[in-house]
């Protein structure tokens, strides 16, 4: 249906821009926001940053930085990453835009997987000692003092969550 040449094309299209071979038509859109935890105003569209440095081909840092700036310009203030994306490289990449725009971005990061030196995921570790190490390492890579939201990597905990949430999610 759509043939995106890069991440920027995809975010432009989703944000109301029409991309043609020779020009970009701009449509005015208004970002909607939702209240989180009774105080934070988060964009209804979040930016998942995994593909910028993990899993989908060769990372393109300049394009990813451009995408982060565009997302911010479009009012997308909820960004999601994880410590294992690119074996920490994703958080380092995001920090290039995050640290100078900290008051504009709500950052969520996940933890729990242990990775080998070559970046392959090995085991899940939800112990308090590892959680502390993971959060401290994420803070260092993100170059910030506090993380807005963190949680265990959900896919690793699905069986536990399923047991806890079965009444509410009707699984």
Give the Cβ contact number of residue 92 at 10 Å: 16
Q: What is the DSSP letter of 85?
A: G
Ranges of each domain in the chain: 31-158
Question: What CATH number belongs to 31-158?
Answer: 3.20.20.100
Mean pLDDT, the chain, rounded, equals 79
* Model pLDDT for residues 9-43, shown as the tens digit of each residue: 555 554 444 444 445 555 556 899 999 888 899 99
Q: What is the mean pLDDT of each run of 10 residues along the chain (171 residues)?
A: 50 48 59 90 94 88 94 94 91 97 94 79 82 91 92 58 41 31
Output phi, psi for 17, to 5 deg: -95, 140
**3-state SS, residue 57:** coil
Q: What positions carry a catalytic annotation?
A: 85
Please give the Cα distance from 158 to 6 (Å, whole number). Answer: 32
The closest alpha carbon to 79, from 60, 99, 61, belongs to 99
pTM more than 0.75: no
């Amino acid at each position: 249906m759509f043939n995106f040449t890069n991440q920027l094309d995809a975010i432009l299209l989703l944000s109301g821009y029409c991309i043609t071979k020779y020009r970009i038509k701009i449509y005015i859109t208004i970002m909607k926001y939702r209240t989180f935890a009774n105080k934070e105003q988060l964009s209804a569209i979040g930016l998942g940053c995994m593909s910028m440095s993990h899993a989908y081909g060769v990372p393109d840092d300049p394009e990813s930085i451009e995408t982060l700036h565009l997302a911010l310009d479009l009012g997308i203030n909820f960004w999601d990453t994880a410590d294992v994306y690119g074996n920490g490289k994703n958080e380092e990449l995001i920090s290039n835009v995050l640290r100078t725009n900290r008051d504009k971005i709500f950052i969520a990061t996940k933890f729990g997987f242990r990775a080998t030196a070559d970046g392959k995921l090995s085991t899940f570790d939800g112990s308090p000692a590892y959680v502390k190490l993971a959060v401290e390492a994420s803070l260092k890579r993100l170059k910030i003092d506090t993380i807005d939201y963190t949680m265990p990597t959900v896919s690793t905990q699905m069986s536990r969550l399923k047991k806890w949430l079965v009444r509410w999610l009707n699984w």
